[in-house]
């Protein structure tokens, strides 16, 4: 099989894994609070990543970094997995899954907005229009398609879901400057993230043993969300002839996620959710097209 076909298979496998996570979040949160879920899933992810590094004989190498590497991991680990998932899981505990997953998908636009003050980048009127298109999708989802009255299910939950996209964008901006091997630095990030959530649990919650179904869902999240899917995606990026050929496949993920949410959890998917999500992705795709055109010029 040619390399590009393998790249598509790995990419689609990663996307399929990511598409199941929203459903797993809701199943796990039915039997535990978001702090318990974050503690278990991040701990499982940390162990899973350690096993991968051990298999590749790279585990000791991960602990041979300089002091600055550990400081960087401490900072990145605060954004992801700690702060990003802390806010996102709280949003999932408040909102229907379809709202939380759709609103979180605004992160590429958040990335563009944050690059203005942090990277001193300038954006033109075309990019501004793309941002407006995406945020109009946010309004459609949050207000359930109504423009005559406020229909938002929970304003705090909507704010949390949108905030999680900011934290992920911040993590992404600082992570791309870290040139260490991807799985090694992700493993160290999860070590620090696990420390943060453990402290948070000690201060604000009492650990209780959840039911078996919730524990299995939490373990699934740790293995699939931050383990298997990530490895598949890195493999696809490594062997593809062009990153663009597989990166656009990511836009399938939220729609497949909605399908799983409907079939497994039983949520009725609003037409406004589909319309709003389409507007969000349209703005992101147009933004990518504009940036690519400007690069060529």
Predicted confidence pLDDT, tens digits, the chain (297 residues)? 687 888 889 889 999 999 999 999 999 999 999 999 999 999 999 999 999 999 999 998 888 888 898 999 999 999 999 999 999 999 999 999 999 999 988 887 888 888 878 777 777 778 788 888 888 888 888 776 555 555 566 789 889 999 999 999 899 888 878 888 888 999 999 999 999 999 999 898 877 788 899 999 999 999 998 889 988 888 888 888 777 678 778 888 999 999 999 999 999 998 989 998 999 898 888 877 776 665 545
Tokens of 211: 């039911």
Cβ atoms of 223 and 48 closer than 8 Å: yes
Name the nearest CA neighbour of 106 among 145, 156, 162.
162
- Cα(218)–Cα(25) distance, rounded to whole angstroms? 8
Helix residue ranges per DSSP H, 95-154? 97-104, 107-119, 125-142
**Would you kindly state where each structural domain of the chain is located, as residue ranges?**
1-294
Cβ atoms of 166 and 114 closer than 8 Å: yes
Task: Count Cβ neighbours within 10 Å for each residue of 236-274 and write b for 16 or more, e otherwise.
Answer: bbebbeeeeebeeebbbbbeebbebbeeebebebbebbb
Cβ atoms of 275 and 145 closer than 8 Å: yes
């Amino acid at each position: 099989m040619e390399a590009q076909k393998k790249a598509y298979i790995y990419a689609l496998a990663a996307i399929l894994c990511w598409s199941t996570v929203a459903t797993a979040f809701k199943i796990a949160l039915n039997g535990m609070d978001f702090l318990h879920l974050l503690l278990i899933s991040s701990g499982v992810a940390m162990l899973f990543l350690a096993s991968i590094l051990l298999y590749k004989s790279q585990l000791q190498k991960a602990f041979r970094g300089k002091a600055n590497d550990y400081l960087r991991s401490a900072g990145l680990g605060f954004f992801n997995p700690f702060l990003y998932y802390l806010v996102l899981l709280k949003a999932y505990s408040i909102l229907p899954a379809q709202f939380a997953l759709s609103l979180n998908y605004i992160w590429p636009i958040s990335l563009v907005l944050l690059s203005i003050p942090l990277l001193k980048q300038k954006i033109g009127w075309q990019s501004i229009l793309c941002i407006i298109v995406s945020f109009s999708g946010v309004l459609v989802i949050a207000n359930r398609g109504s423009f005559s009255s406020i229909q938002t299910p929970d304003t705090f939950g909507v704010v949390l879901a949108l905030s999680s996209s900011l934290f992920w964008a911040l993590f992404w901006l600082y992570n791309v400057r870290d040139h260490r091997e991807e799985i090694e630095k992700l493993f160290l990030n999860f070590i620090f993230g696990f420390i943060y959530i453990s402290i948070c649990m000690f201060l604000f919650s009492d650990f209780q043993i959840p039911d078996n179904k919730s524990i299995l869902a939490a373990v699934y999240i740790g293995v699939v969300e931050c383990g298997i899917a990530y490895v598949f995606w890195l493999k696809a990026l490594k062997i593809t002839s062009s990153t663009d050929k597989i990166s656009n496949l990511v836009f399938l993920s939220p729609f497949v996620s909605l399908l799983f949410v409907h079939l497994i959890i039983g949520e009725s998917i609003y037409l406004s959710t589909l319309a709003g999500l389409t507007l969000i992705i349209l703005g992101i795709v147009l933004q990518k097209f504009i940036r690519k055109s400007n690069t060529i010029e």
